Amino acid sequence: MTTIEAEISVDEFRAKARDWLAANARKRGEADVGPMGESHEMGSPEERDYVARARDFQAKLHDAGFAGITIPRGYGGQGLTRAHQAAYSQEAGPYALPALNGLGFGLFIPTLLAHGTEEQKTYWIPKVLRNEKIFCQLFSEPGAGSDLAGLQSKAERVDGEWIINGQKVWTSGAQIADIGGGPFRTDAELPKHQGLSFFIVDMHQPGVEVRPIVQITGESHFNEVFFTDARTPDTSRVGGVGEGWRVALTMLMNERMSLGGGGGQTTRRGGGEGAIVRLARELELFDDAETRDKVIDFFIQQRVLALLGQRMGEQNKGRQPGPEFSIMKLMGTRVGALITELAPNLIGPGGQAWESTDELGSKWTQNLLASRSGKIAGGSDEILLNIIGERVLGLPQDPRVDKDIPFKEMKVGRVSI
C-alpha cells in the first residue's frame, strides 16, 4: 500500500488523484462500469464479472492511497482530512468507477470505529477498504421492520462461540457478501431493547442460506437470509453482551446519513444530482419555462440537501451521527421520489409504455418503481417523523406499553422464544 504523506496539501493530493484516475479509470460513457444494480441480475455471469472487477479496482485504489482517506492510518487508511476526501471525490466525479461494498464503507467501518475493539478495527477495516471483505447489513426480519427491537433471530453462547438461528429479510448484497453484521437476541428475559447483542457473521459458512426477493421492478437486489445453527466466535461480537441496540443505532444513523445525503434511490440507481437536468436537455424541453422551473427546483433541492449534509457532517465531526440525521434521510428520499415522478412525465408516452429498445423510458420508470423502497429502507417516513418529533424537537413520546416487559412475555411474531 502507498502511504500518502501526512502533511500533503489538499492541492497536492488533488493533483495526485487526478493523475492516478486518468491513468487507471474510465470516463463515464466509455464502458459499462456503473452501479451493479442497474443491469446485472443476481447470480449472473455479468454480476460475478462485475464483482471481480470491482474487487480488483478497489485493491488498486487502496494501494495507491485513495481509499479510506479520512480513516486513521493504523486501520489501513490515510488519516487525512475531509477536505482531502472532498478533493478526491471532485476529481473522481467524471469517472465511472466500479461501485461495490458501499454498506461496508458507509455503515460497517463507522460502526466499528465507534464500538469495535482495537483487534477488530485493525483486522476488519483494512479488509473492507480493499474489498477483500464485502459487507451486508443483517437488520430487518419478517416480524421486525419498523420495530427492529422486536427481532426474534437469536444467538446462544456455546463454549466461546455463538450459535445463530433465525431469518433476516430485505438484505441488500447478501448474495455477494463475505460478512454480515446485525443484532440478534441473546436474552429473552430482558425487555426487547436490552436483550440484543451485535455480531459479525461469516456469510459463506454452512447454515447460512441466501434467497433472492423479486422486486416490483422485476429485478432482485434484495434477499432473505436464513440461519440454521450458524456460528460466530465471541471475538466477532461488537460491543458488550446486551449492547446490541446501541451498536445498531449507530449503524442506523450512518445509514440514514448516507441515504439522505444521496437523495435516496435516485443516486443509488445512477441518477443523482443533475440527472434530471441532463434528461430535460436530452429531450429538448429545457427551453419550456414551466418545465425548466420544475427541473431547476428539484436540482436546487438536491443541492441544498447535499450542502446540508456536508454542514451536518462538519458539525458532527468527531461524534457519532445522532437523531438529527433522520431529517436528512426523510427529505432525501422524498426529493428522490419526486424527481422520479417528474422524469416519466417529461419523457411522455415512453414513460408509461416503452419498446424493448427504449432505454430512456425503461430506466426512468424503473427508477420510479424503485424509489418507493427508499421511503422504507433505513426507516419508514412515519418512523422518521416520530424520531424527529421526539428526539430532535423534544415533543412528548408516544405511549410504549411494552417498554419494560420481558421479551418472552410479548405477543409478537410467529415463533416462540
Active site residues: 255
Residues 6+ apart with CB under 8 A from 263: 271, 272, 273, 302, 305, 306, 332, 333, 335, 336, 339
Of 57, 48, 1, the residue nearest 26 (C-alpha) = 57
Residue 344 phi, psi dihedral angles, 5° rounding: -60, -30
Grid coordinates representing 367 are 427508477
Residues 6+ apart with CB under 8 A from 218: none
